[in-house]
Amino acid sequence: MPIKNSKIHTSVKIFKKNLVNIYGAKIGAKTKIGPFVEIQSNSEIGKNCKISSHSFICSGVKIEDNVFIGHNVTFINDRNPKSTNNKGELKKNDDWILEKTFIEEGVSIGSGSVIMCGIKIGRDATVGAGSLVLRSIPSKKIFFNKRNKNLK
Amino acid sequence: MPIKNSKIHTSVKIFKKNLVNIYGAKIGAKTKIGPFVEIQSNSEIGKNCKISSHSFICSGVKIEDNVFIGHNVTFINDRNPKSTNNKGELKKNDDWILEKTFIEEGVSIGSGSVIMCGIKIGRDATVGAGSLVLRSIPSKKIFFNKRNKNLK
Amino acid sequence: MPIKNSKIHTSVKIFKKNLVNIYGAKIGAKTKIGPFVEIQSNSEIGKNCKISSHSFICSGVKIEDNVFIGHNVTFINDRNPKSTNNKGELKKNDDWILEKTFIEEGVSIGSGSVIMCGIKIGRDATVGAGSLVLRSIPSKKIFFNKRNKNLK
């Protein structure tokens, strides 16, 4: 079973338990988790959330209650990822800096978005589908990238 | 087996039956389905289509014959998704409005694209890889977002 | 087991062997492969690489040593994909042209990026998260799309 070492409330619904990879995570009551989702250790998801299929919640992401994460949403925790360190060896745990990300209560993140680390998305903010979010977003703001306007 | 309640023509090829999530869908003859694909109920896919790996076909999407859906393509059916309703409870079926999407015969949608709901992509149109499509596209048109030009 | 006909060095770590689809590929020593990854035939991955979850490495992609591929990165090998040929039949192997892609040593490709085929990303170059890469990138260059600047 690809669900390990996690504190998952008994009311959480994981629709396809054999098609997720969840380890070391904390997930609150009534939250729903779609298929093809990975949730890493030291991440935290509140109650009444929806984590849609194909999304990736990495270590260091804290998601509060009532948050919608669309399909195919990708979080990040390393601003300068590399495979190897300066010695040419595979990076170890102390070869990189984890930057945390905070998603406050009631946020909605549209499908296909990529969320850079080290930022906060404020309460009830909305991120349009297909966005790349590089900076913090204030509460209640509706965020779009320029391409969301389909300018050509 | 994560394939349920679907009308799938016997000639359909699903390359990895244990690595898809398909329920309540209708899929026409000779269509090919890659791994890590989710196809939801009340969606319809024609014959001779190719649905590539990591793509997500949601309820309300109708795909006609001879359509190419690239890898990691995400459809949407809720323009304003939220996890909870105004009472702070998890949304139920009548708490949101499904908007349908129509993909006409012969369309090609490039990998990594996100397709907003409530639109039609016309016959033989092409959507470039990595596009965000927010409006209907006329038949035979070749669509790109601005970023596809790599302006900097 | 969804791993077939591949030359995988014994030191390669595939974290969830039941949640990948790998066939006909060559993977070098100590490389790590995340869940929900597809690696197709006639692709090649060097040693000390990291291929993160949800990524797609297609036929014709050659990745050298010490390369970081983020989460949800999509490669492409067909510039003009269609489901059917001019006769309206499903395309066969000689109905399309595979264009190769070369990722040189030490490259880092950020999560959520889409990489067009027929290009080379030069040694130690960096591709920012959420990029669409349509042209070759010189060695050591740091590449971003315009939207990465969050202009609005």
Kindly determine whether residue B68 and residue C56, on different chains, have CB atoms separated by under 8 Å.
Answer: no
pLDDT for A149: 57
pLDDT for B152: 39
- Measured from the Cβ of residue C98, the count of other Cβ atoms closer than 10 Å reads 15
Backbone angles phi, psi at A103, to 5 degrees: -115, 110
For C77-102, what is each residue's pLDDT tens digit? 999 999 999 999 999 988 999 999 99
Q: Which of A58, A27, A69, A141 is nearest to B83 (CA)?
A: A69
What is the C-alpha to C-alpha distance for residues C105 and B90, in angstroms, rounded to an integer? 48
Residue C116 tokens read as: 């067009």
For A42-64, what is each residue's pLDDT tens digit? 999 999 999 999 999 999 999 99
pLDDT for B95: 93
What is the C-alpha to C-alpha distance for residues B146 and C132, in angstroms, rounded to an integer? 11
**Which H helix or E strand runs over C98?**
none
Alpha-carbon distance C88 to nearest alpha carbon in chain A (angstroms) = 32
Sign of the torsion angle spanned by Cα atoms A12, A18, A19, A21: positive
Half-sphere exposure of A134 (CA within 13 A, CB side): 17
pLDDT for A123: 98
Within 8 A of C108 by CB-CB distance, chain A residues are: 80-83
Instruction: Name the residue of chain C whose CA is nearest to B112's CA.
Output: C114
Q: Which of B45, B54, B44 is nearest to B21 (CA)?
A: B54
For C36-84, what is each residue's pLDDT tens digit? 999 999 999 999 999 999 999 999 999 999 999 999 999 999 999 999 9
What is the C-alpha to C-alpha distance for residues A111 and B75, in angstroms, rounded to an integer? 8
Q: Of the given ranges (A81-90, C108-117, C141-150), which has the lowest mean pLDDT?
A: C141-150
Within 8 A of B72 by CB-CB distance, chain C residues are: 54, 56, 72, 74, 114
Instruction: Name the residue of chain C whose CA is nearest to B55's CA.
Output: C54
Instruction: Say yes or no: domain A3-79+94-145 is CATH 3.40.50.2300.
Output: no
What is the C-alpha to C-alpha distance for residues A115 and A129, in angstroms, rounded to an integer? 12
Within 8 A of B15 by CB-CB distance, chain C residues are: 21
Q: Using an 8 Å Cβ cutoff, are C49 and A83 in contact?
A: yes
The three-state secondary structure class of B94 is: helix
- Measured from the Cβ of residue B128, the count of other Cβ atoms closer than 10 Å reads 23
pLDDT for C152: 39
The single-letter DSSP state of residue C69 is: E
Residue A85 tokens read as: 């360190």
CATH ID of B3-79+95-145, from 3.40.50.10860, 2.160.10.10, 3.40.190.10, 2.40.10.480: 2.160.10.10
pLDDT for B151: 39
In whole angstroms, how far apart are CA C5 and each of B76, C22, C25, C77? Answer: 36, 8, 7, 21
Q: Which of B98, B117, B116 is nearest to B41 (CA)?
A: B98
Q: Is the ipTM of this complex over 0.90?
A: yes
Residue A120 tokens read as: 């906060």
What is the C-alpha to C-alpha distance for residues C110 and C122, in angstroms, rounded to an integer? 15
What are the residue ranges in chain B where pLDDT is below 70? 1, 147-152
Give the residue-averaged pLDDT of C28-33. Answer: 98
For B52-91, what is each residue's pLDDT tens digit? 999 999 999 999 999 999 999 999 999 999 999 999 999 9
pLDDT for B1: 63
pLDDT for B148: 62
Kindly determine whether residue C147 and residue A146, on different chains, have CB atoms separated by under 8 Å.
Answer: yes
Boundaries of every domain in chain A: 3-79+94-145
Within 8 A of C2 by CB-CB distance, chain B residues are: 16, 18-19, 35
Q: Using an 8 Å Cβ cutoff, are C48 and C32 in contact?
A: no
Kindly determine whether residue A48 and residue B132, on different chains, have CB atoms separated by under 8 Å.
Answer: no
Query: Which residues 6+ apart lie within 8 Å of B109 measured at CB?
Result: B67, B68, B69, B70, B73, B103, B115, B121, B127
Instruction: Say yes or no: domain C3-79+96-147 is CATH 2.160.10.10.
Output: yes
- Measured from the Cβ of residue B140, the count of other Cβ atoms closer than 10 Å reads 12
Q: Is the pLDDT of residue C145 over 90?
A: no
Q: Which residues pair with A7 in a beta bridge?
A: A26
Kindly determine whether residue B147 and residue C135, on different chains, have CB atoms separated by under 8 Å.
Answer: no
Q: Is the pLDDT of residue C32 over 60?
A: yes
What is the C-alpha to C-alpha distance for residues A66 and C35, in angstroms, rounded to an integer? 27
Q: Which residues pair with A143 in a beta bridge?
A: A127
What is the C-alpha to C-alpha distance for residues B21 and B37, in angstroms, rounded to an integer? 6
- Partner residue opposite C108 with nearest CB, options A76, A81, A88: A81
Q: Which of C36, C41, C39, C40 is nearest to C19 (CA)?
A: C36
Give the residue-averaged pLDDT of C100-111. Answer: 98
Q: Hey, what's the torsion of the CAs at C48, A115, A131, B147, to 10 degrees?
A: -40
Q: Which of the four pLDDT bands, split at 50, 70 and 90, describes residue C151? A: very low
Mutate to test the interface with A, among C9, C12, C15, C54 (most CBs of A within 10 A): C54
- The tens place of each residue's pLDDT in chain A, 152 residues long, gives 689 999 999 999 999 999 999 999 999 999 999 999 999 999 999 999 999 999 999 999 999 999 999 999 999 999 999 999 989 999 998 899 999 999 999 999 999 999 999 999 999 999 999 999 999 999 999 998 876 654 33
What is the C-alpha to C-alpha distance for residues A54 and B41, in angstroms, rounded to an integer? 17
